[in-house]
Chains A and B, each alone.
Chain A
């Protein structure tokens, strides 16, 4: 009688059905509505930017994993997610090589050199964006106004390909250069530094409108568009328990609280909290960037400290820093502090709290 052979392993013998790929897919899904809207608002160039960035991220990851003789982990979807996140931080008509350089940097320097998924210090998408912003400031700050698909003046697919792949050198330079305009945050910083009030800067010919901003109809990065859809995506992630409220809520508070206070003190110099909320990358950062699991604290207390700091740094950079937008810098700076924050925010374990009592 032969004994059947059984598997032996350490308990537990049953597991939930969660996986890294599932988490990544959920985040991608949550980003899709806002991404789709940005394609509609900015036309085919936006789609090309997203595709090129995602593909260069995945290709880089795949090649490096082969070189490192690791099993290809593209199935975990993390490279695709990084690509999408990076694309959403880029202007809508950025040249193709910027996307490729960004994708390669994100995967190579931002992630694989540290040891791959789980070992990186910085959010790969954001460190790549910071790298691009510092290296190619012109390309990264050319903001065309929204030209929605299928509307009058919409770019055709061919025109879009020319813009992305040939830039201003061949073909259609006028299309880009003629109509770039400042983002609301850029407009506010520029004009206020020139002595105008916030109201003068955003009103008048610039014509900032909160409803347009909520819907995403304004100049900016692909992912800085619709506050509504980004929030919906964030709530979906909360609902799916991929993220908790700690980081997004505290990051929003960290930015909007000082905004409210300073606005109350001097509305001419400091725009109100709603302006900070619906413009720029605050919502994208709060729900999708700062919550990156690898580069944020794991303890609830630590997450709140991290979120508040990210929010406040964002506000500080927007208000007093050298750049009109500070979300990327704020999060990347706080990424450095994550191990320290975790170290000092260990939760009080069961039965320890009462030990000395």
Chain B
């Protein structure tokens, strides 16, 4: 009936990395004990960073707002536990370059007390969808699969767009990660409750939960709950990385492709992660903001593995300590999955809304210091690219900074899944080159915009000068005309005195002079060319204005 296919399609390419999920798949979800200190970054989502709304010394309760959203593409940040705000400072976050970010440092008081005024919607399926969306926005919910796109935006499709399918992402195609699988296994009902709320909010009649076949326990748990709902189905997908990427999942389940540069809603689909569904349910039914998430701690470099429920802002060190620490063989610590995650410099970085895993990888697991060789154009990267790009060509052009060629090869359609670099026999860090290329293009764009601004400013200045000149000329002409008129009047009075004319004529001669300078010139031949000059200057100013308007219109159109 709906747009979900009964037989699944496949997407182009993809790879089969060893999934290593058995390291942690059997670990039930545990709650990490309250850490000594929390470092809550004010920018945990895709979009504008938050502004802090607490000051050092403030007492906060669990769920209190500590960072206010700035604009529509932004979500608030809340206190993950009760305690005292010690300071608001720059602190290391999970970034490959070791960047810092503004974080609210909270010392927990140990009571872990919720604020008392949280209210949920008791009957979420009967309220107006806008109320649900408001709750989601207030709760600071973002896509928990890792992209951290604000969920309320996805829940507010533009007018005229119909959501015909809600697609729930339980694929978890990244190797090692098991927290989504555990969530489906242990909290299937909560997920489905979240789904029903989302379906109501989106007014959607169909929902498919996509799960890869390597999670049989999750599949059976979800099926058991879903059986009670006619509109929700579980789709078991063959294992293939990167199937959990939004566009690929949509292609597999619906056979449709999201237009390049478009959004899933353009093909009538909204995709949410399973963990997001639970967060949405908590927010809508209990009014609880997003203050914790599930994190898989795994890898051969950690003494024991775990699937932990962790307060946002908890330093990675606390998670590692809980799991018995690192072995000396650990070479890399990764936040996220091994294909798309970020390598950490140290363990001070806090868990954020997008942290799905902490991997401690040993030298047997992670490849490092592989020497980059020349591309032999084997075409392996083309075969695995889920977007059908030409990674080898793109890497070459990135390396040589041929930015126009990069755009031609659709660099910005790259989802950075890493499949190409995974298979490359020459060990070329392709994704690294693509990031460099993207940043170079963005930098160029910014430089161009800055240049354009300077140009516009100077043009405006020129126009203004021309206008002032014209004004000056006009005034001069006016003054001259007036003085000439006065002279004429004097002459006339003199003549009057001699000829004894009527006084009314002087008034007649004066009036047009003060009103319209150029015409006054008509009376005295000397003023002719001056007034012409003034008129020319005025014309030039008008032309400059018109040109500027045309430019503005052009930039607007762009």
Which of B368, B378, B390 is most buried by chain A, counting CB atoms within 10 A of its CB?
Answer: B378
- How far apart are A77's CB and chain B's nearest CB, in angstroms? 12
- Asked if B388 CB lies within 8 Å of chain A CBs, one says yes
Check A15 against B427 for contact (C-beta < 8 Å): yes
- How far apart are A149's CB and chain B's nearest CB, in angstroms? 36
Which of A13, A73, A118 is most buried by chain B, counting CB atoms within 10 A of its CB?
Answer: A13
- Asked if A267 CB lies within 8 Å of chain B CBs, one says no
In the bound complex, residues from chain B placing their C-beta under 8 Å from that of A348 are: 388
In the bound complex, residues from chain A placing their C-beta under 8 Å from that of B458 are: none
Interchain CB contact (< 8 A) of A4 among B330, B340, B359, B422:
B330
Check A6 against B346 for contact (C-beta < 8 Å): yes
> What is the CA–CA distance of A11 and B393 in the complex, to the nearest angstrom?
19
Check A12 against B425 for contact (C-beta < 8 Å): no
Check B12 against A118 for contact (C-beta < 8 Å): no
- Asked if A19 CB lies within 8 Å of chain B CBs, one says yes
> What is the CA–CA distance of A115 and B374 in the complex, to the nearest angstrom?
10
Check B392 against A7 for contact (C-beta < 8 Å): no
Check A350 against B378 for contact (C-beta < 8 Å): no
User: Whose C-beta in chain B lies nearest to the C-beta of A19?
Assistant: B425
- How far apart are A350's CB and chain B's nearest CB, in angstroms? 4
Interface residues of B, CB < 8 Å — how many?
Answer: 75
Q: Which of B251-259, B442-450, B511-519, B542-550 binds A?
A: B251-259
Interchain CB contact (< 8 A) of A6 among B257, B333, B339:
B333
Interchain CB contact (< 8 A) of A352 among B386, B393, B410:
B410
- Asked if A157 CB lies within 8 Å of chain B CBs, one says no
Check B345 against A10 for contact (C-beta < 8 Å): no
B positions within 8 Å CB-CB of A = 11-12, 15, 17-18, 96, 98, 175, 247, 251, 256-262, 326, 330-334, 336, 338-348, 359, 361, 365-368, 370, 373-380, 382-383, 386-390, 392-393, 409-410, 413, 416, 418, 421-427, 429, 431-432, 435
Interchain CB contact (< 8 A) of A294 among B96, B376, B413:
B376
A positions within 8 Å CB-CB of B = 3-4, 6-16, 18-20, 22-23, 73, 76, 115-119, 244, 293-294, 296, 298-300, 342, 346-355
Contact of A18 with B425 at beta-carbon distance under 8 Å, contacts A293-B379, A353-B257 already known: yes
Task: Tally A-B pairs: CB < 8 A.
Answer: 179
> What is the CA–CA distance of A2 and B335 in the complex, to the nearest angstrom?
20
User: Whose C-beta in chain A lies nearest to the C-beta of B20?
Assistant: A14
Interchain CB contact (< 8 A) of A15 among B12, B98, B333, B370:
B370
Q: Can you give 22 contacting A-B residue pairs, CB < 8 Å?
A: A4-B326, A7-B343, A8-B96, A10-B96, A11-B431, A13-B332, A13-B338, A13-B359, A14-B17, A15-B422, A20-B376, A20-B426, A23-B378, A73-B373, A293-B376, A294-B376, A299-B382, A347-B382, A348-B388, A350-B257, A351-B257, A355-B259
> What is the CA–CA distance of A10 and B338 in the complex, to the nearest angstrom?
10
> What is the CA–CA distance of A12 and B410 in the complex, to the nearest angstrom?
21
Check B418 against A11 for contact (C-beta < 8 Å): yes
> What is the CA–CA distance of A10 and B17 in the complex, to the nearest angstrom?
17
> What is the CA–CA distance of A15 and B18 in the complex, to the nearest angstrom?
10
Check A13 against B259 for contact (C-beta < 8 Å): no
> What is the CA–CA distance of A328 and B201 in the complex, to the nearest angstrom?
67
Check A15 against B367 for contact (C-beta < 8 Å): yes
User: Whose C-beta in chain A lies nearest to the C-beta of B251?
Assistant: A350
Check B382 against A298 for contact (C-beta < 8 Å): yes
Check A6 against B376 for contact (C-beta < 8 Å): no
Check B390 against A347 for contact (C-beta < 8 Å): yes
Interchain CB contact (< 8 A) of A14 among B365, B375, B380, B410:
B365
Check A13 against B373 for contact (C-beta < 8 Å): no
Interchain CB contact (< 8 A) of A13 among B347, B361, B393, B423:
B361
